[in-house]
Chain A
Amino acid sequence: MFTMLNPRKFYRAVGRKKFLDFFVLTVFLLFFYGPLTNLLMLAFAEIYQYPNLIPQKFGFKWWEFVLSQKTMMSAVGQSFMFAIVTTVFSLLICLPAAYGLARYKFPGRRLVMFSFMLSNAFPKIGLYTSIGIMYYKLNLMGTFLGVVLIHMINTMMFMVWIPCGAFSSVHRQQEEAARDVGAGPFLTFCKVTLPMAVPGIAVACIYTFLGSMDEAQGTLLVGVPQYQTMPVMMYTVISDYNVMAAAVYALAMVIPTIVLLVLLRRYVGPEAIASGFQMK
């Protein structure tokens, strides 16, 4: 059995093609899961000193430390709060825009579509600085709305592009058939267009939600000290050089992501995402 661990024997046994596949897969797994494994080890380590590859002692010490901090719970609460409000606001603002962009072919349409990417193309910190100046003038500094708006800047692209793709894939005839049998424009949208676009919209919501959960730079700039979300707290923890506490934070932040993805795995396929990124 252990003779198989000899690479040369292994190569002979499985053949060149398979060996290459195996090699690539191994590299991929190490690259992808290596850091994650390290993170896991860090989070559950109690004693972990440099020359050792594996922690000397595992335990929940750092979890206790993190969970016992008063700010932690409030950060979790705030993160969810901002993520939910950002998602709802983006839905309300971006869905009509996405529908318009999907249905009406006006001149300059592509330019409008593209403009949603601009906020993601510029160096963020420059953008935030200028927004900060505006915020001071508008008294938005340190306000809830201010933080939500910063979060929305980052996620608008998803909320416009992906639902736009989803709306485009609803055929005109299907809407017209609904009008034909007696539904007005609004009812047609609610009963036919929207339900058919739901998979795409769900994907966009996930992106928006996770994007908001993950946002740190902007919140740090316009929200602190009134608002401290989880990623903002992580900045503080990391700057205290407490690696293990940081790992616990990181894991705690991954949990909602995983829960969301599992709940909505039916919708989150490569096709659903890709359909949103076609410039139709």
Chain B
Amino acid sequence: MAEITTNIKPKLRIIDMTKRYKNGDGVEHINLDVYPGELVTMLGPSGCGKTTILRTIGGFLDIDDGDITIDGQSIALLSPEKRPTAMVFQSYNLWPHMSIYENLAFGMKLRKVPKEQMNQQILEMLKMVGMIGSEKKFPSQLSGGQQQRIAIARSLLLKPEVLLLDEPFSALDAKIRVQMREELIRIQQELGITVVFVTHDQEEAMAISHRIVVMNKGVFEQVGTPIEIYDHPVTRFVADFIGEMNFMETPDGIRAVRPESLSLSRGSQGDLHGHIRTIMVLGHYAEVNVQCGDAVIKCNVQRDQMAGWAVGDEVSLSYTKEQFFATETVE
């Protein structure tokens, strides 16, 4: 959401929030604004604190310091059942002793939604998640992907201000995962709901997010749109974590170049020189590894530009885009 202007108020604010576990792990001084209708993803390696932050928003963890607000109201002291958030976990979301209908109706009954209205909304929601006809089934009769759809449906039926998703698709097969993420984008756009999504899969994050928060070891490394983060990673960690990147040491710092920014040519006019070690054709493009001194540089080249190149050829590389990390910012 690059066009956000200052007069739009954030839906969710995390203000200088700190959560420490007894053993010292946790997150510190977290600040994040999420705007209405925005899908923000927290992305980072395992153990970096993504779930911790999400659970503090949902009310499953007490915070030690700072504040969390929704529409300007602090929710930090509310128990989960009082918060206008809804959370979907990685697995075991559904109650196995209740039918799908009962699972969906449980929260609505607590809110005293009239029966007629409830039935109608449940039907509509089942249609939205493509699960019409499963009302009478029990969770154990559904596949993992179907169970997650029901879990998302159950959350959406309660019309939460913020939907929290903790790696909801990571237990699913690759193919279903891609399908589910497309559906999530569709539903999110249809309903205009605000979503905080957690994943350790950078491809998933790139595909679905308006903005990505890249985390490492309990701190935010960078917050930005997928394109900003891909094209202008501000730390070496981000550059390394998102997409593929070649790192080249120079006396004053590190140069980082994406494989697709490199092009091959004969002669000596390029930025780097070496010889081709391997050529792998991967569909419409080829991955070429070039030995330049001690370093191996990976280049992605269009198939039609590969004609005439062979392993062992002398080659010169030139690039259009690079990132430079001066020595002091290198970890």
Q: Which residues does A use to contact B, with CB under 8 Å?
A: 171-174, 176-184, 187, 191-192, 195-196
Contacts and interface: CB of A to CB of B under 8 A. Distances in A.
A172 B51 CA distance: 14
B92 interface: yes
Contact of B95 (A177, A182, A184, A187): A177
A181 B89 contact: no
20 contacts: A173-B89, A173-B90, A173-B91, A174-B93, A174-B94, A174-B96, A177-B87, A177-B93, A178-B95, A178-B106, A179-B80, A179-B81, A180-B80, A180-B85, A180-B86, A180-B155, A181-B154, A181-B158, A183-B110, A184-B79
Interface in B270-312: none
Given A171-B92, A177-B93, A196-B95, A182 B107 contact: yes
Most B CB within 10 A of own CB, among A173, A181, A191 = A181
Contacts of A174: 92-96
Contacts of A181: 81, 86, 106-107, 110, 154-155, 158
A184 B81 CA distance: 6
A182 B60 contact: no
Nearest to B102: A191
A1 to B, nearest CB: 50
A172 B58 CA distance: 14
Given A181-B154, A182-B158, A173 B110 contact: no
A191 B102 CA distance: 11
Nearest to B85: A180
A184 B96 CA distance: 19
A184 B89 CA distance: 19
A172 B79 CA distance: 16
Contacts of B87: 176-177, 180
Contacts of A195: 97
A266 to B, nearest CB: 14
Contacts of B151: 177
Given A174-B95, A176-B80, A192-B95, A182 B110 contact: yes
Q: Is chain A's interface secondary structure helix, strand, loop, or mixed overall?
A: helix
B106 A191 contact: yes
B111 interface: yes
Given A181-B107, A182-B110, A182-B111, A173 B95 contact: no
Interface in B56-104: 58-60, 79-81, 85-87, 89-97
Interface of B: 58-60, 79-81, 85-87, 89-97, 106-107, 110-111, 151, 154-155, 158
A195 B99 CA distance: 13
Contacts of B92: 171-174
Contacts of B95: 174, 177-178, 192, 196
A141 B94 CA distance: 51
Question: 9 nearest interchain CB pairs?
Answer: A181-B107, A171-B92, A179-B80, A173-B92, A182-B110, A173-B89, A182-B81, A195-B97, A180-B87
Contacts of B79: 179, 184
A177 B92 CA distance: 9
B100 to A, nearest CB: 14
Contacts of A179: 59-60, 79-81
B96 A180 contact: no
Contacts of B85: 180
Contacts of A192: 95
Contacts of B96: 174, 196
A171 B139 CA distance: 14
A173 B171 CA distance: 15
A174 B94 CA distance: 6
Contacts of A187: 110
A194 to B, nearest CB: 10
A176 B81 contact: no
A173 to B, nearest CB: 4
Given A173-B89, A173-B93, A181-B107, 7 more contacts: A171-B92, A174-B92, A178-B95, A181-B155, A182-B110, A196-B95, A196-B97
Contacts of B89: 173, 176-177
A117 B257 CA distance: 66
A96 B58 CA distance: 27
